């Protein structure tokens, strides 16, 4: 029998061995011990054995390792959720107030890609990235706390993430498992008996987002055809890290998918320990949870920056990359800020005054008393690539047309912030 050997450049010395006589019937992949084809070729919804990565019933000694089971039948990475390890922390580690009678915004994300909502008038939900109290699970850099800060609130407080339509569509017709590591904070037992919930939702619209929420309960996104595949499935957790999971089949009509992690306090508890922490959040194509997939940090960061990017002024004098400026008048300069990656949509921009502008011979600097999306350049607006901003000052920038550069102030102050928000 003639065979053809093809070098796979992506994996170096691994060789793909294919029978010339039966090549049309063989699924290409990485050989284990022979060139035999799969007995049961994958259809996209198999149970995958945790030890071999093959559909159940396959013999790893005789089966090809199909490319389609390397990950999740829809490509890699297998985890459809972003920042499940809480490694990307562009929002910082401060305490965030969850959305109150409103959708998600730049101010309601405790962590990149993770919004927080209580969404009732008495909501006192809080979220925060933490590296201690509790310590994160072994191997994780941080976890995210969700808790009820004060007042009698008997509605769910949730962390929420929406998967983009282009990726949600990959899940249509698939069986998925949503798993997460959770730990009860010290006050949750006295409040509601250490109970938390997991939810999987889907819709039939296109990237409708989390900017508008509906009632009953008030944690539900206003999506076309919104349906809960798993509706607040309850779990009793402990003060030790525990992995919990739910499984559902995504309908073939689904074009939006999201997950929520919640707890519902009673009227008796309150405080920073009335809640839970979580890490290792994963949504995958599988009938049961598999090992958490740690993505390279640089990949997670690039993905996160499609949805949110923050420039925080440092206390040292450093130049802001891709921020060439030109003086428009003695009190105004226009700078072009280019984003590190193309954002999902043209972002909403918010600013906190800060930064400084070098002028004249670049030997002195003038502080920006205010920054804003430029109103100087006609028709200027943020776009997926970048944004023109105005730096204003009464100190005087010099002659119009002079080139300048945006710098951090470098006097021990670090007040300036530029936010570009394009998340759901």
Compute the average pLDDT of residues 76-96: 95
Confidence of residue 275 (pLDDT cuts 50, 70, 90): very high
Closest C-alpha among 205, 423, 389 to residue 305:
423
Q: What is the pLDDT of residue 302?
A: 97
Cis peptide bond upstream of 212, omega within 30 = no
Q: Identify the DSSP state of 327.
A: E
HEC string of 172-239 equals CCCEEEEEEEEEECCCHHHHHCCEEEEEEEEECCCCCCCCCEECCCCCEECCCCCEEEEEEEEEECCC
Cα-flanking dihedrals φ and ψ of residue 59, to 5°? -95, 115
Q: What is the pLDDT of residue 17?
A: 28
Compute the average pLDDT of residues 211-236: 91
Give the mean pLDDT of the chain.
83
Helices and strands (H and E) in the chain: how many: 3, 27
Q: Which of 181-185, 268-272, 313-317 has the highest mean pLDDT?
A: 181-185
Sorted by sequence, the CB contacts under 8 Å of residue 121 that are 6+ apart come out as 100, 101
* Strand partners of residue 159: 116, 261
Model confidence at 335: pLDDT above 50: yes
Cα 110 to Cα 114, 115, 402: the distances in Å are 7, 7, 41
Model confidence at 49: pLDDT above 60: no
Q: What is the pLDDT of residue 44?
A: 44
Burial class (CB in 10 A: 0-12, 13-18, 19+), 338: exposed
Compute the average pLDDT of residues 208-226: 88
Say which residue the tokens 């206003």 belong to.
222
In this predicted model, which residue has the larger pLDDT, 41 or 258? 258
User: Tell me: the pLDDT tens digits for 124-180?
Assistant: 899 999 999 999 999 999 999 999 988 777 889 999 999 999 999 999 999 999 999
DSSP output for 264-303: ---SS--STTSEEEEEEEEEEESSS--------HHHHHHH
Give the largest CA-CA distance in the chain: 84
User: Tell me: the pLDDT tens digits for 277-299?
Assistant: 999 999 999 999 999 999 999 99
Model confidence at 382: pLDDT above 70: yes
What count of other Cβ atoms lies within 10 Å of the Cβ of residue 29? 19
Q: What is the pLDDT of residue 63?
A: 43
Q: Return d(Cα 128, Cα 113) in angstroms, integer.
A: 13
Do residues 355 and 320 lie in contact, with contact meaning Cβ atoms separated by under 8 Å? Answer: yes
All structural domains of the chain: 3-69 (no CATH), 96-299 (2.60.120.260), 308-421 (no CATH)
DSSP output for 335-383: EEEEPSS--SSSPEEEEES--EEEETTTTEEEE-SEEEE-SSSTT----
Q: What is the pLDDT of residue 267?
A: 84
What count of other Cβ atoms lies within 10 Å of the Cβ of residue 393? 18
What percentage of residues in the chain have a pLDDT greater than 90?
A: 60
What count of other Cβ atoms lies within 10 Å of the Cβ of residue 336? 18
Do residues 136 and 143 lie in contact, with contact meaning Cβ atoms separated by under 8 Å? Answer: yes
* Strand partners of residue 312: 417
């Amino acid at each position: 029998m003639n065979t053809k050997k093809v070098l796979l450049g992506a994996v170096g010395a691994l060789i793909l061995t294919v029978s010339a006589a039966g090549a049309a019937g063989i699924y290409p992949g990485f050989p284990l011990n022979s060139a035999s084809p799969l007995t049961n070729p994958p259809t996209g919804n198999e149970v995958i054995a945790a030890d071999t990565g093959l559909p159940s019933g396959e013999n790893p000694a005789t089966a090809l390792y199909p490319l389609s089971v390397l990950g999740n039948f829809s490509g890699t990475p297998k985890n459809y959720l972003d920042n499940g390890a809480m490694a990307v922390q562009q929002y910082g580690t401060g305490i965030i107030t969850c959305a109150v009678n409103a959708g998600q915004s730049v101010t309601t994300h405790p962590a990149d890609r993770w919004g927080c909502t209580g969404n009732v008038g008495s909501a006192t939900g809080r979220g925060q990235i933490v590296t201690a109290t509790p310590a994160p699970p072994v191997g994780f850099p941080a976890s995210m706390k969700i808790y009820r800060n004060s007042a009698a609130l008997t509605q769910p407080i949730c962390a929420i993430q929406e998967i983009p339509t282009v990726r949600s569509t990959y899940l249509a017709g698939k069986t998925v498992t949503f798993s997460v590591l959770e730990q009860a904070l010290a006050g949750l037992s006295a409040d509601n008996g250490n109970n938390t919930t997991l939810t999987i939702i889907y819709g039939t619209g296109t990237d409708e987002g989390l900017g508008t929420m509906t009632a009953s309960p008030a944690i539900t996104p206003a999506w076309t055809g919104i349906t809960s595949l798993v509706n607040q499935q309850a779990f009793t957790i402990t003060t030790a890290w525990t992995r919990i999971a739910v499984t559902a089949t995504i309908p073939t009509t689904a074009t939006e998918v999201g997950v929520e992690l919640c707890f519902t306090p009673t009227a008796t508890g309150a405080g920073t320990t009335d809640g839970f922490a979580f890490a290792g959040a994963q949504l995958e194509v599988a009938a049961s949870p598999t090992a958490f997939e740690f993505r390279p940090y640089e990949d997670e960061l690039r993905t996160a920056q499609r949805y949110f990017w923050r420039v925080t002024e440092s206390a040292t004098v450093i130049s802001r990359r891709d921020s060439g400026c030109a003086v428009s008048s003695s009190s105004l300069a226009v700078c072009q800020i280019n984003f590190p990656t193309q954002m999902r949509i043209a972002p909403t921009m918010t600013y906190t005054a800060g930064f400084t502008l070098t002028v004249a011979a670049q030997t002195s600097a003038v502080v920006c008393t205010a920054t804003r999306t430029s109103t100087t350049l006609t028709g200027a607006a943020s776009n997926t690539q970048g944004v023109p901003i105005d730096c204003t000052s009464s100190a005087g920038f010099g002659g119009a047309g002079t080139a300048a550069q945006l710098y951090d102030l470098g006097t021990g102050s670090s007040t300036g912030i530029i936010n570009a928000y394009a998340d759901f």
